């Protein structure tokens, strides 16, 4: 076997190993009900912030790594979410939240939040003036 063939096989094997390891790290996007059925498994839940019916709790002096809020998932269920970290900047302005975490009793323990903020390039905004 030529040296170039061996190098190509090693590169293909390494690429295959990387792809397989990455696929194992993906969490499935689910709802709060699905996460409640298997509290030991970590899920990604897409939701919107519920500030109409519930208020947010964050006191950086008492505990800067505890942020509590309520979110409504795509199935319409509202759940208490406890984020282990500081309150993200412009959190109230986010359109959607992708939260990674596990259920812990009656609340969702979130370790990571990705926010989808409104685009400043939307063309559907209308300026009203005199």
Q: Looking at residue 100, which CATH number applies to its domain?
A: 2.40.50.140
Three-state SS letters, the chain: CCHHHHHHHHHHHHHHHHHHHHHHHCCCEECHHHHHHCCCCCEEEEEEECCCCCCCEECCCCCCCCEEEEEEECCCCEEEEEECCCCCCCHHHCCEEEEEEEEECCEEEEEEEEEECCCCCCCCCCCCCC
pLDDT per position as a tens digit, 84-118: 988 988 888 888 899 999 999 899 999 999 988 77
What is residue 128's predicted lDDT score, i.e. its pLDDT?
44
Residue 60 belongs to some domain of the structure: yes
Question: For the chain, what is the domain count?
Answer: 1
What is residue 50's predicted lDDT score, i.e. its pLDDT?
92
pLDDT of 17 over the 70 cut = yes
Residue 97 belongs to some domain of the structure: yes
pTM: 0.69
Domain that holds residue 59: 28-116
pLDDT per position as a tens digit, 29-68: 789 998 899 888 999 999 999 988 999 999 989 999 999 9
């Amino acid at each position: 076997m030529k040296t170039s063939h061996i190098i190509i096989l090693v590169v293909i094997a390494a690429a295959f190993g990387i792809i397989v390891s990455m696929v194992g790290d993906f969490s499935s996007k689910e709802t709060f009900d699905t996460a409640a059925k298997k509290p030991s498994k970590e899920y990604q839940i897409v939701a919107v912030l519920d500030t109409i019916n519930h208020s947010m709790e964050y006191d950086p002096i008492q505990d800067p790594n505890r942020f509590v809020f309520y979110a409504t998932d795509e199935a319409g269920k509202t759940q208490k979410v406890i984020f282990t970290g500081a309150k993200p900047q412009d959190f109230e302005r986010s359109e959607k939240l992708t939260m990674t975490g596990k259920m812990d009793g009656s609340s969702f323990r979130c370790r990571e939040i990705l926010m989808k903020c409104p685009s400043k390039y939307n063309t559907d905004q209308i300026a009203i003036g005199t």
